[in-house]
Amino acid sequence: MKKTGILNRHLSGALARLGHTDLVVVCDIGLPIPEGPTVVDLAFRASVPSFAEVLTGLLEELEVEGAVAAAEVRQANPECGALLDSHFPGLELVPHEELKALTRQARLVVRTGEARPYANVALRCGVPF
C-alpha cells in the first residue's frame, strides 16, 4: 500500500500516465469541464479540498514547465493570484474564456472543492532532466 504522496488511486494513476507537454488543469468547482479529458473530481464540500492544498500536492509530484491562468484572478481572487505567482514566476495570463477553451486540450482535469472565483490553472508538464 502506498503511504506517502498522493494516495487517491485515480489521481495517482492519472499522473503516472502523463508525459512531456501534457496539460493538467486544476480547477475550482465552477469551471465547466468539457468532454474528453480524464477527470478526477476531488470536490467533497464547498472549499474542501482547497485549490491551494491540491495544487501544492500536485506540484510535489509533477514536473511543470509552464502555467496558464485567467488574468481575472489577480483582481477577483488576489490570494489565489499571489499563490500562482509564488509557484510560477513566468505565469502566463489569458482571458478567462481563453482558459476555458484551453481546458479542451487538457489530458487531465483535477476538480477541487474551491468555491472562490478564478481558482484555475493549466499546467504544462515538463521533464525532470
Q: How far is CA 119 from CA 25, 44, 51, 73, in A?
A: 11, 16, 7, 7
123 forms beta bridges with 24, 67
Beta strands in the chain (DSSP E): 23-27, 38-41, 64-70, 92-94, 108-111, 121-125
User: Is 28 marked within a binding site?
Assistant: yes
Q: Per the structure block, which three cell numbers stand in for 36?
A: 474528453
User: Is 120 marked within a binding site?
Assistant: yes
Is residue 20 part of the annotated active site? The answer reads yes
Which of 20, 21, 78, 101 does the annotation list as catalytic? 20
User: Is 119 marked within a binding site?
Assistant: yes
Residue set of the binding site for substrate? 28, 96, 118-120
Enzyme catalytic residues: 20
Residue set of the binding site? 28, 96, 118-120
